[in-house]
Amino acid sequence: MPKKIQVSFSDKQVELIHTLKGELGDSESEVVRAIVTSWFIDQGLIKTVVNDKILKNIQNHKDN
């Protein structure tokens, strides 16, 4: 279920978000979501979470 999270941006950040509309999404929300997802990927956080889940599943299968 989607959850709304309120954030604040400076005027310059809002200007950048508006500049990216049409490139990363059609709305401010879509642009911010794309930026956050891209940052997660760049930081390796998504890969880490997926790898952790895979390792837990492997360990659970070994224990059963």
| Distance, CA of 37 to CA of 60 (rounded, Å) | 29
pLDDT (average), residues 12-24: 97
| 50 vs 57: CA distance, rounded Å | 11
Asked whether the beta carbons of 28 and 18 are under 8 A apart, the reply is: yes
Is the confidence at residue 18, as pLDDT, over 90? yes
| pLDDT of 13 above 90 | yes
Q: Is the pLDDT of residue 60 over 90?
A: no
> What are the backbone angles phi and psi of residue 21, rounded to the nearest 5°?
-60, 135
User: Distance between CA 32 and CA 38 in Å, rounded?
Assistant: 10
- Say yes or no to pLDDT of 20 above 80: yes
Give percent of the chain above pLDDT 70.
98
- Name residue, tokens 């978000």: 17
3-21 mean pLDDT: 96
